[in-house]
A and B are shown apart, each in its own frame.
Chain A
């Protein structure tokens, strides 16, 4: 009988923190920007420069630690991790090894098998590296240090996951928690969330872990799932062939669906960590901790529960809306103004999602204000505009966050409530469409729809379709 194998997975997740400035200098962390325009002597490792810790980084790291049930290290330090690479301007990275800011936490994930706690070994603060660009014309690489010194936290899990499904659930959970904290936008495709997968296999029932490998360069949930499946099979094949798994770092190539070892004689993986003498220890006071604790937001599970109790909207809507902190904030702020949860939810679930999909945007990228959505809902409620016009106006709100009242006024989009004008148009439509009138009178109910449409067209959409319908029936 073939042996049965179990996959053991631990994750190292890097998250770029949404601070305004870098971890050790006053350079902007803004994404993009021409090469090396967000750099200074400190983040390019100029001789004589010294780091000074950005307080916001500490606050964010502690906030994530609290949200993931970690113990906060009250006396923590920074260490230097020494290795030569061109994206690392000092050839050491300031990180934390001996006294990381958070330890011994966990998050609960939910899969089809139920709820499971995934342990968090530690969370530490560190600086990001620069970016290497491979020159297309010459046989060289180019270094841009804009990203060098952008603050990161690295969340190291325990080897508690057993499947790609659990890994994805864990990552989703982390992403949601961190987005709710407002600490990062956690975009895998932009690199603001990056996951390295440590994986080993062992026979079912074995108590010892197998030899693990570390997989890097996983930029999407898709590639994470693929890489896990691929690596699991690779390791099982090795073991079945009587060979050993080598502890090594491997790089995933999503196009080839294949990983290769990043081995090099010059890469000794001996980082010579030692406490950075240029930075002083951090002592976390009770007050500081309480301050951060008090700022913890309502997280998704509690929010979903509350929505169920407070708003009469479907579970599916709740799931989608709370799936983005930004959307949930928008929802609540809009409801607070117009007090129409169902209508607000409809706009988010319908037109908003449609436009997001059409424009390939994330809910986090929504830019319109709750005032304007609430204003639009009021306009439709008061029948100032009809639903077709409302959709047009909403597109404008979505695009450029216009004020709907002003916009409707300026563009003359108000529904025509002038009975005389409406009656005149309806009479003209009746006169111009004798065949449809005939059909209707012969019992073809559908024909009235055509007549309503013709009237709306003649009114340039600025009529209330229900009133048109009523008037038509009356005149026929």
Chain B
């Protein structure tokens, strides 16, 4: 396997993705990510010099909305699915 994913990388990606893996899952993730990256490395075989990265398949451009208020008070709907709410706001663990 060309790509060796170490513990530090898994730990780091876990911080980015906000995932906490068990030791067993970590081992599996190291293996899976390594083999996926080996597979993705296949793309290196292709010469893509001068090729523009294509994020959209069609040249659709300039899609806008007009600056007109269309929404009223939807706070009840906004909060309807909240796991916890208080005073019309979402409750979260203390941030400071």
Direct interface between A and B, CB < 8 A: yes
Chain B residues lying within 8 Å of A36, measured Cβ to Cβ, are 75, 78-79, 88-89
| Interface mask (A109-150 → B, CB under 8 Å = 1, otherwise 0) | 000000000000000000000001111001111111100000
A282 and B92 in contact, given A36-B79, A277-B55 (Cβ under 8 angstroms): no
Would you call A223 an interface residue if the criterion is a C-beta within 8 Å of the partner chain's C-beta atoms?
no
| Cβ contact within 8 Å between A40 and B65 | no
| Cβ contact within 8 Å between B69 and A26 | yes
| Cβ contact within 8 Å between B75 and A283 | no
| Cβ contact within 8 Å between B16 and A272 | yes
A37 and B92 in contact, given A266-B15, A281-B56 (Cβ under 8 angstroms): no
Chain-B contact segment, one of A53-61, A155-163, A386-394, A461-469: A53-61
Within A276-311, the residues touching B (CB, 8 Å) are 277, 279-283
| Interface mask (B65-90 → A, CB under 8 Å = 1, otherwise 0) | 11111110111011100000011111
| Cβ contact within 8 Å between A280 and B60 | yes
| Interface mask (A46-64 → B, CB under 8 Å = 1, otherwise 0) | 0000001111111000000
| Cβ contact within 8 Å between B93 and A53 | no
Complex CA gap A277/B63 in Å reads 13
A141 and B94 in contact, given A36-B79, A36-B89, A281-B61 (Cβ under 8 angstroms): yes
Complex CA gap A272/B86 in Å reads 33
Secondary structure at chain B's binding surface: helix, strand, loop or mixed? loop
B84's nearest neighbour on chain A, judged by CB, is: A140
Task: Name, among B12, B18, B74, the residue most crowded by chain A CB atoms within 10 Å (CB to CB).
Answer: B74
A19 and B55 in contact, given A40-B78, A86-B90, A134-B94 (Cβ under 8 angstroms): no
| Cβ contact within 8 Å between A52 and B78 | no
Complex CA gap A271/B92 in Å reads 22
Chain B residues lying within 8 Å of A35, measured Cβ to Cβ, are 75, 87-89
| Cβ contact within 8 Å between A27 and B71 | yes
Would you call B22 an interface residue if the criterion is a C-beta within 8 Å of the partner chain's C-beta atoms?
no
Complex CA gap A21/B66 in Å reads 9
| Cβ contact within 8 Å between A55 and B75 | no
Would you call A410 an interface residue if the criterion is a C-beta within 8 Å of the partner chain's C-beta atoms?
no
Chain A residues lying within 8 Å of B12, measured Cβ to Cβ, are 268
Complex CA gap A52/B60 in Å reads 13
Secondary structure at chain A's binding surface: helix, strand, loop or mixed? loop
Complex CA gap A25/B62 in Å reads 16
Partner of A26, one of B62, B64, B68, B94: B68
Chain B residues lying within 8 Å of A134, measured Cβ to Cβ, are 94-96
A20 and B75 in contact, given A139-B94, A281-B61 (Cβ under 8 angstroms): no
B73's nearest neighbour on chain A, judged by CB, is: A37
| Interface mask (A25-47 → B, CB under 8 Å = 1, otherwise 0) | 11110000011111111001000
A86 and B92 in contact, given A40-B71, A142-B87 (Cβ under 8 angstroms): yes
Smallest CB separation, A258 vs chain B (Å): 16
Would you call B21 an interface residue if the criterion is a C-beta within 8 Å of the partner chain's C-beta atoms?
no
A56 and B67 in contact, given A142-B90, A144-B89, A283-B61 (Cβ under 8 angstroms): yes
Q: How large is the interface on B (under 10, 10 to 19, 20 to 34, 35 or more residues)?
A: 35 or more
Complex CA gap A37/B67 in Å reads 18
Would you call A270 an interface residue if the criterion is a C-beta within 8 Å of the partner chain's C-beta atoms?
yes
Smallest CB separation, A229 vs chain B (Å): 25
B74's nearest neighbour on chain A, judged by CB, is: A40
Would you call A453 an interface residue if the criterion is a C-beta within 8 Å of the partner chain's C-beta atoms?
no
Chain B residues lying within 8 Å of A138, measured Cβ to Cβ, are 86
Would you call A84 an interface residue if the criterion is a C-beta within 8 Å of the partner chain's C-beta atoms?
yes
Would you call A470 an interface residue if the criterion is a C-beta within 8 Å of the partner chain's C-beta atoms?
no
Would you call B33 an interface residue if the criterion is a C-beta within 8 Å of the partner chain's C-beta atoms?
no
Complex CA gap A189/B12 in Å reads 38
Smallest CB separation, B18 vs chain A (Å): 5
Chain A residues lying within 8 Å of B62, measured Cβ to Cβ, are 280, 282-283
Partner of B91, one of A34, A38, A140: A140
Would you call A191 an interface residue if the criterion is a C-beta within 8 Å of the partner chain's C-beta atoms?
no
Would you call A275 an interface residue if the criterion is a C-beta within 8 Å of the partner chain's C-beta atoms?
yes
Within B23-73, the residues touching A (CB, 8 Å) are 55-56, 60-71, 73
Smallest CB separation, A235 vs chain B (Å): 25
Smallest CB separation, B71 vs chain A (Å): 5
Would you call A265 an interface residue if the criterion is a C-beta within 8 Å of the partner chain's C-beta atoms?
yes
B90's nearest neighbour on chain A, judged by CB, is: A143
| Cβ contact within 8 Å between B89 and A143 | yes
Residue numbers of B with Cβ under 8 A of A are 12, 15-16, 18, 55-56, 60-71, 73-75, 77-79, 86-96
Residue numbers of A with Cβ under 8 A of B are 19-21, 25-28, 34-41, 44, 52-58, 77, 82, 84-86, 132-135, 138-145, 265-266, 268, 270, 272, 275, 277, 279-283
A–B complex contacts, Cβ < 8 Å, 8 sampled: A37-B88, A38-B71, A39-B75, A39-B78, A54-B66, A56-B67, A281-B56, A282-B61
Enumerate the 5 nearest inter-chain pairs by beta-carbon distance, A residue then B residue, closest first.
A26-B70, A142-B89, A55-B64, A56-B67, A36-B75
Known pairs A40-B74, A54-B66; list 4 more (Cβ under 8 Å): A34-B75, A38-B73, A140-B86, A141-B94
